Structure 1
Amino acid sequence: METIINYRFKLDRSSKKYICPQCGKKELVKYKDAAGNYQGDEFGRCDRADKCGYLRYPDTVSESTSDYVAPVRKPQVYFPKEYLQKTRKNFDQNVFLQNMEKAGIPSEKIKKVEDYQVGTITKGKYAGGICFPYIDKHNRVHSVQVKVFNSENKTIDQNWLHSILYYHFKASGNIPQWLTDYHNNEKKTNCFFGEHLLEVYPSKEIIIAESPKNAILGSFILPEYLWMASGSLSTLSVNKLRKLKGRKILLIPDTSPESVAFDQWKLICDEAVEAGIKVQMCRFIEDMATENQKAAGYDIADYVMDLLKEDPKLFKAASKEISAPVPARKEYNSDNLKAFAGEILEECDSLPAEVLLNKIRDSKHFAGENPIDVVSQMRLKNIIDCTSFNTYFLFNSTPF
């Protein structure tokens, strides 16, 4: 009787990349078997999902088996709603919400925060913290972020509710199976904060900020929009924005020195527009923040709190300015763009986004121009391309 070996293949989780057999770029993540052995060069997934999309599972059969078991992708395990529900009380102990009340935000606006299904931690190290749940449009809870704020509304501690529960159950010697399964998720969060409200407010245009805190405070000043959050600067992607296709979207990242954060989201925005998504950038916070404020990561939440300190009546006056989109980008001559790209990107070479943007800023060819517009034009005209690690290379070359 032949021995049957049931193979289970997983994508390599290291940073190693190989040549993709379809597009020829060094962006292929290969499959490994249960013993950690790499499979053939043709088996893997290309990380250039939008430009290539190559995917092939291992389809060879071991010599010692007559059966082959296809790779099984583990289903996503979601966070149980009952544990989130247990936090949805004791708002009088919620420092974040109490700060809003003390700042003079009307109670009816604070009440609307419950739309986001926020909760409160009442005991232990994170007592007084607020729970920010990430719930998708199918009403499934992906994760729950816990943040503790001080009286100035600055974060002083943070964690995830599943981690807090894990240590709680571990101390009692009884970790439930769902929590073990949840920990084994390859990726726990794959939705926007506030995504579950898409069906509740089907006609509202959307504003996406970085953090849940920014989304909530932004909703106080512009309630006519549906405010959502990506979770961080790095977790916004074109694939995530595809979920919102058909809706009008405005992006407001935090500020940063030399506009690094804005530029990063602008590149994603331009790629999303190319994919048919109705999305624009908002420059208001970026343009009004001082250099010192940018160094401190000034954001929409800081702006709202500053308005409250100055005069709560300024809320309405600021609304039109915040919602004004970025002007249409400038067109550049293709030959000039090709010549410039050839100067700074040698064949088979690549540059990180920040380095590329700085080279454009320092170039005499584009003095005073917006470097993001230059990069966007070079991408749209197939002069340069981008890897999943946000590095850029000449379109017809392979970055090594």
Structure 2
Amino acid sequence: MKRVYLELKFSSKRNPNLITPCCGKKNRGSSGSLKFVNYVGLPEQFGFCHSCNKATLPPTLYEDENGNRFTYNQTFRKYEKLIDFTPSPNLINGKINGTVKPLQKFIEEQVVIDSTLVKPENNLLLYLRKTYGNQKAVKAKEEYLIGTYNDGATMFWEINKKLQVQKCKLSYYRKNGRRTEKFNHIYTNKNGYYSCLFGEHLIIDNLKGKQTVILVESEKTAIVGSILLPRYTWLSYGGKNGFKQEKYSCLIGHKVLVIPDMENDSVNIIKKKVAELQKIGVLANIWDMTNGRTDEELIKLGLYGNDLEDIFRKITV
């Protein structure tokens, strides 16, 4: 493994809409000047800020004999293949061509807090208050920082273990707590905002082997699970195709039970994921609620596509 050296040159162009990664302020000052200057060919988060006199540098890169690039994880003392950041190869050892994947940006804490203060609250929060009582609903709202968007959407903030806010998913619910087909993202991969597990900030590494983490598809199911069975730590992977490898590392060393929706495709996907998790040191298991029934059988029983929250609803509502 050899270190890769980047040639850092200041760009002649500056982004007036950038929030500076160092001091978290708008790039355009009161005088109209642009404070943050970027490095050529790198994501715009890297550069030098004339306001706080700090340089934001890319991570140290390493390359193996096959040209694969890595960073070094100090926590686990091992090289990890790049996921969040891939600089333009034309900056690496004179090689040319390639594309830039922006480094992970983080959303300001105040934006999250402000979203929890919006009135009237979204339909999901109103449903939780009506169904489980104000005290439990408030606890869940504070635990997951459930926000309300200006069009009434429920804001599911994705917060990592370091309490950094990585992304936000907007979901729309009816007054009966049922989700509509509409959803949206106001922070996108294209702009440098990548997902983590919803509720990841609730994982406590000091309790590895003792804290049981339950992973479900829906954010709402995780929230309702936390209300009804608070002895477990409830997270969501955001749909059957939302549980990707870049979300795995926070689970290493923990006891995890994954509960997919009642659909054979969802179950088969998660069975493969559980095998992958076990290989990297996650104490993972699956609860297959289909009990081996086919999709056709589930449809006849009215169970196809149901999740754990549907079971909770039948018991408690």
Same topology, TM > 0.5: yes
Matched residue type, 2:278: V
Does residue 227 of structure 1 match 2:234? yes
Q: Which sections of structure 2, spanning at least 5 residues, go unmatched?
A: 1-6, 10-39, 44-65, 71-79
- Distance (whole Å) between structure 2 residues aligned to residue 205 and residue 221 of structure 1: 15
Does residue 271 of structure 1 match 2:276? yes
- Show the counterpart of 1:111: 138
Alignment of 1:174-189 (within 5 A): 184-185=191-192, 188-189=193-194
Q: Confirm or deny: 8 A CA contact 1:95 1:150 kept in the other structure.
A: yes
The structure that has the greater radius of gyration is 1
Q: TM-score, normalised by structure 1?
A: 0.51
Alignment of 1:49-198 (within 5 A): 61=94, 74-90=102-118, 93-103=121-131, 105-113=132-140, 114-121=142-149, 123=150, 126-127=151-152, 129-156=153-180, 157-162=182-187, 184-185=191-192, 188-198=193-203
Does residue 308 of structure 1 match 2:313? no
Call closer, same or farther: CA 1:296–1:275 in 2, change over 3 Å.
same
- Show the counterpart of 2:16: none
- Distance (whole Å) between structure 2 residues aligned to residue 111 and residue 200 of structure 1: 25
Matched residue type, 2:183: Q
- Indicate the RMSD between aligned Cα atoms, in angstroms: 3.8
Secondary structure of 1:251's match? strand
Matched residue type, 2:179: T
- Greater share of strand residues, 1 or 2? 2
Q: Which sections of structure 1, spanning at least 5 residues, go unmatched?
A: 11-41, 47-51, 63-67, 164-181, 310-400
Alignment of 1:238-257 (within 5 A): 238-256=245-263
Q: Say which of 277, 280, 285 aligns to 2:285.
A: 280
Deviations 1:264-321 (A, max 9, x none): 10111012212322111012x3339861267741111211111123xxxxxxxxxxxx
- Distance (whole Å) between structure 1 residues aligned to residue 148 and residue 246 of structure 2: 31
Q: Confirm or deny: 8 A CA contact 1:135 1:191 kept in the other structure.
A: yes
- Show the counterpart of 2:220: 213
Of all paired residues, the percent bearing the same amino acid is 22
- Distance (whole Å) between structure 2 residues aligned to residue 297 and residue 138 of structure 1: 34
Q: TM-score, normalised by structure 2?
A: 0.63
Secondary structure of 2:290's match? helix
Call closer, same or farther: CA 1:61–1:273 in 2, change over 3 Å.
closer
Secondary structure of 1:287's match? coil
- Show the counterpart of 1:298: 306
Call closer, same or farther: CA 1:9–1:109 in 2, change over 3 Å.
closer
Secondary structure of 1:134's match? strand
Q: Confirm or deny: 8 A CA contact 1:255 1:294 kept in the other structure.
A: no
- Cα offset, 1:110, TM superposition: 1.4
- Cα offset, 1:206, TM superposition: 0.2
Q: How many matched pairs?
A: 236
- Greater share of helix residues, 1 or 2? 1
Matched residue type, 2:214: I
